[in-house]
Structure 1
Amino acid sequence: MTMPTADTNTTRALRGLEHSSSSVRLQAALAAGTSPGPQFVDKLIERCTIEPTFHVREMLTWALTRHSASITVPKLIDELRSERAQARSQALHTLSKIGDRQAWPAITRALLTDADDEVARSAWRAAVVLVHEGEEPDLAGALATQLGRGERATQLSLSRALIALGEVVMPYLRAAMTDLDPRVRQHAIATERLLDNPDAGFEFAIEEAKRIVALERTGGER
């Protein structure tokens, strides 16, 4: 019986990443991560830009984290300039998992304020992982400009990112609590509540914030 060679396994994995079956693509990504090699990196990144299945995308990211950061990080940074939102989002997600802070300069304000919510959320998560020491206040200021944005899932992602930065966010939250937009005020208040009491839960915090803002409008007591 002839045993498959390394070249055969590589070819099988590369072909598997393009298979119509998500389970085959999943196994191919697993194989590429289990036996990593530079021959897989371009194909894994390419697949990240178009892969429709969440758990396969997660396996692609895992496979990339198994490869040398010196190879993957520059290529992932290149993806941040892609016109395809999924390419930007998945590259940011993967960079956050790799955790190489050399990628920090690539997390631009344009990405932190990207019009696509998934890209912005991935940028927020990556930023708090990769930020260089001493640059947290600038990051907090950039993130605070997004308060009030989107639906609950987006707002929760932003609150988590701000909370991860710690007390440095407080001046920005306090400033946002006086914003003319009630959604911004609500989100800032809810984030402050979560910073003070992480166990409170976002739903509770946002509902309490809504009550406070409503009372402010009517001149009532908190």
Structure 2
Amino acid sequence: MRLQAALAVGSDPAPGLVDALVERCGVEPDFFVRDMLTWALTRLPPEATLPRLRQELRSGSPGARGQALHTLSKIGDGSAWPWITRELLRDADDEVARTAWRAAVVLVPQDGRSGLADELLSQLGRGEREVRLSLSRALIDLGDAAVPALERAAAGPDRAVSAHAHATELLRRNPAAGFDAAVEEARRLAALGAERAAALARADTGTGGAAESAGC
């Protein structure tokens, strides 16, 4: 019944129902109903929906924030880009953060893509597989603008961040390989790098010891 109701509202859109639709989006437990509610909101004039969705981004409910972000990404109005704040991109709730990353990539203007890549860089290494995959996809969707940020992260000292950056770059170059394969390859490369660094350190120590024995 709720699905049919959302379908009916979207089929005959009425701006006066914006508040009811947005409020229901924030508490609706069924994915398909939420998706239909979002569709109904996209059928309404942006001047009616955008201000209400902006309010919802400040909600104390993670579900409400996440669904508002999702709806903004579906509407695709670039005027909402400034509302995708650092706080939302770093939201403590993984699902909200993932949705914010997707929405940001959709809404960011061309001249803001490098800055967004730098901000997303701060989230590398976060969470479990699905969270990391979402971040990798967001960075890949930014195209060439993300490459310098990924290169810096891959060369950094944090092994989790470096591995995630390597995996993202590998996936960007070869999407058919899959995320899990890219992660394994990134770990292999990191292990080889660590072994090489250790071998060089041992060689330097050995040289130093020989020099000391020779009285140098």
TM-score, normalising length: structure 2? 0.88
SS at match of 1:33: helix
Structural RMSD (CA): 1.3
Residues 141-185 of structure 1: per-residue CA shift (max 9 Å, x gap) = 001111111111111111111111111111111111123322111
CA distance in 2, matches of 1:55, 1:211: 40
1:170 and 2:147 matched: yes
Aligned to 2:202: none
Aligned to 2:29: 52
Shift of 1:54: 1.1
Aligned to 2:70: 93
CA distance in 2, matches of 1:62, 1:93: 11
Residues 32-58 of structure 1: per-residue CA shift (max 9 Å, x gap) = 111110122111100111111111111
Which protein has the bigger helix share?
A: 2
SS at match of 1:134: helix
| Aligned 1:99-110 pairs, distance under 5 A | 99-110=76-87
Aligned to 2:97: 120
Runs of 5+ consecutive residues of structure 2 not aligned to the other structure: 200-216
Aligned to 1:195: 172
Identify which range, 113-122 or 207-216, moves more after superposition: 207-216
Shift of 1:199: 1.7
Runs of 5+ consecutive residues of structure 1 not aligned to the other structure: 1-23
SS at match of 1:219: helix
Shift of 1:194: 1.3
SS at match of 1:135: helix
Shift of 1:93: 0.4
Task: Give the letter aligned to residue 123 of structure 1.
Answer: A
Identical aligned residues as a percent: 59
Shift of 1:217: 2.3
| Aligned 1:1-222 pairs, distance under 5 A | 24-219=1-196
Across the two proteins, how many residue pairs are aligned to each other?
Answer: 198
SS at match of 1:146: coil
CA distance in 1, matches of 2:29, 2:157: 39
Shift of 1:216: 2.0
Segments of 4+ in structure 1 off by > 4 A? none
CA distance in 2, matches of 1:48, 1:135: 29
SS at match of 2:142: helix
Residues 94-134 of structure 1: per-residue CA shift (max 9 Å, x gap) = 00000000100000111111111111111100001101121
Radius of gyration: which is bigger?
A: 2
SS at match of 2:162: helix
SS at match of 1:62: helix
Shift of 1:196: 1.1
CA distance in 1, matches of 2:16, 2:5: 13
Task: Give the letter aligned to residue 183 of structure 1.
Answer: A
SS at match of 2:27: coil
Shift of 1:197: 1.4
